[in-house]
Amino acid sequence: MIKRLLLPFFTLLLFTLLLYRCSDSIIVPGNENNLITNPSFEENGNASLNGWIIAGDTINQFTTDIPPNGGNWAITINSVWISPLTNGIYTTVKLSTGIHIYRFSVWAKYQEVTGSTNMLIIKPDTTIVLRSIQITDTLWKEYSVIDTIAADVSDSLRIILSGGGSQILFGKSYFDLCTLELLE
Domain boundaries, the chain: 29-182
pLDDT recorded at residue 165: 73
Angle at 50 between CA 73 and CA 75, to 5 degrees: 30
Does pTM top 0.85 for this prediction? no
The answer to whether residues 148 and 64 touch, using CB atoms and an 8 Å cutoff, is: no
Tell me: pLDDT of 11 over 50.
no
Q: pLDDT higher for 7 or 42?
A: 42
CA distance 73 to 39: 11
Question: What's 29-182's CATH class?
Answer: mainly beta
In tens, the pLDDT along 13-63 reads 333 333 333 333 233 345 678 999 999 999 998 999 999 998 876 778 999
